[in-house]
Structure 1
Amino acid sequence: MTDSSARPKRPQFGEYATPEEQRASIREPLDEQRAAELGVSPVVPLGTSSGDEAKPGDASASTSGHLADGSAPVHPGPSQSAGSGHFAGSRPTPPATPPMAPTRYGPNGEVLPPRRSADRIATFVLIAIGLLNIVVTMPNLLDLAGAVRTVYVQFDISGYNSDQLAQILGITALLAQVILWVAALMLSSRALRAGKPAFWIPLVAGVVANVILIAAVSIAIASDPAFLAFVQANSAK
């Protein structure tokens, strides 16, 4: 008999195959029966166990990652809640917020607070009232003696005799009103640019201006001899 060691060794499965043939063979599963006939280990596609029999139609899809018709498989994605339009594990989109007012900067680069519309309207209205009050009272303050004589006629008092004093007091009260109005306008504009409340500035200026006006008219009347005589005559009755 011939020694078994002298016989040529049986080539292993795929030993003389080209790389292309090897890849083509690997794509097709080799079941246990066919492997037993060839004397090699069974070839099982990726993703399946060795005890399961691979289907011929699914071999190319298991190894190449594509279906038999060449299209890519659809992998199950995250579950979606029915009718919600959102993924189950995702957060809902927050509602859109209204646009913010643009940031304002001062002359030195500092951030200014937002504007106050109601405060601006009230400030401008008070400033307009102050200007109107100056225009209305200006004729009487420039001729305070004549205005006092008109009042004297209504109360049946003899003629006013302190014309020089009345003129000084009238011009002083008018200048005080103009200065206070200009100061209120400048301070209010500065406060509005800085984003601070400004309505109180013309309000305080108006109160001070009226106090000065009342004081000037009171001094002009109380210092007149005719008014003092009228008071004494009425107090003696």
Structure 2
Amino acid sequence: MSTPDERPRPAYGEYATPEEQRARMQHAPPASPPAPAQPGPVVPAPGAPAARGHLIDRIVTVALLAYGAFVVVSTVFELSDFTAFADAWMKTMGITGSFTTTPQSQAWATAGVIVFAIGWIVTALISWRVMARGKRAWWIPLVGAVVSWIVLTICLTIPLVADPAVIHWFDQQTAR
């Protein structure tokens, strides 16, 4: 038995002082080597900015968006006078006569321009979000441009093909 002054003999070093523990660890056999780290996906450190993505992709995406903004602004100015635009289009197509302006024709042109501008805004927002996630976004302005041009073309074609001079020209083309 032990006396009340004596502590029981420590098992497994629970009563060892920190110095005794360090001394014992230096004489202990080496533990098995740690397994080599497996390469995995790179995760940004907390607080670090999101993955930067590819620099060339960002440059191309921003350049396409800038060009798209220029096209949208120039289209707004060009279609602000739809009658002049339609007359120039008819002359290019070889259609004689002048465009008959109606309130509906300018309304279709205005609707087309609005949809065209909204298409660019939506395209820019989607592109920025995709780039912020570090993914490739160069294709988004291209798809946005194609979709916006299709809608704009439909909006402009409706009043153009309803014009009497254009209808007469189509009749002459089909009669040949």
Q: TM-score range by the shorter chain?
A: 0.5 to 0.7
Compute the displacement of 1:167 (Å). 0.6
2:150 aligns to what? 211
Instruction: Please say if residues 120 and 144 of structure 2, whose CA atoms lie closer than 8 Å, have aligned partners that are also in contact.
Output: yes
Distance 1:139 1:213 in 2: 14
Residues 190 and 162 (structure 1), Cα distance of their counterparts in 2 relative to 1, 3 Å cut? same
Partner of 1:222: 161
Who is 1:150 aligned against?
88
SS in 1 for 2:153: helix
Once the 2 structures are TM-superposed, how far is the Cα of residue 164 of structure 1 from its aligned partner? Answer: 1.8
Structure 1 residue aligned with 2:54: 116
C-alpha distance in structure 2 between counterparts of 1:169 and 1:189, whole Å:
30
Cα distance in structure 1, aligned partners of 2:119 and 2:136: 18
Deviations 1:74-112 (A, max 9, x none): xxxxxxxxxxxxxxxxxxxxxxxxxxx993557xx9x94
Cα offset for 1:199? 1.5
Alignment-derived partner of residue 10 in structure 2: none
Partner Cα distance (2:175, 2:58) in 1 = 55
| Distance apart, 1:121 and its partner CA | 0.9
Distance 1:133 1:166 in 2: 21
Q: How big is the shift at 1:185?
A: 1.6
Q: Distance in 2 between matches of 1:105 and 1:122?
A: 29
> Do 1:103 and 1:114's aligned partners in 2 also have CA atoms closer than 8 Å?
no
Q: Which has the higher contact order (CA 8 A, sep 6+)?
A: 2
**SS at structure 1 position matched to 2:111:** helix
Report what 2:123 is aligned to: 184
Count the aligned residue pairs: 134
**Per residue, is there more helix in 1 or in 2?**
2
Question: Is 2:169 aligned against 1:235?
Answer: no
2:74 counterpart of 1:141 = no
* Root mean square deviation of aligned Cα: 2.5
Q: CA deviation at 1:156?
A: 4.3
Note closer, same or farther for the CA distance 1:104–1:126 as it changes in structure 2 (3 Å cut). farther
Q: 1:119–1:199: 8 Å Cα contact kept in structure 2?
A: yes
- 1:171 shift after superposition: 0.8
Conservation of the 8 A alpha-carbon contact between 2:95 and 2:166? no
Task: Output aligned runs, 1:1-16, within 5 Å.
Answer: none
Sequence identity (%)? 25
Q: Which runs of 5+ in 1 are unaligned?
A: 1-100
- In structure 1, the partner of 2:134 is 195
The separation in 2 between residues aligned to 1:117 and 1:198, in whole angstroms, is 11
Letter paired with 1:131? A
Give structure 2 stretches of 5+ with no counterpart.
1-41
- AA of the residue aligned to 2:69: L
Answer yes or no: is 1:127 the counterpart of 2:68. no
Query: Which of 170, 174, 177 pairs up with 2:113?
Result: 174
Summarize the Cα distance change of 1:177–1:156 in structure 2 as closer, same or farther, 3 Å threshold: closer
Please identify the structure whose Cα radius of gyration is greater: 1
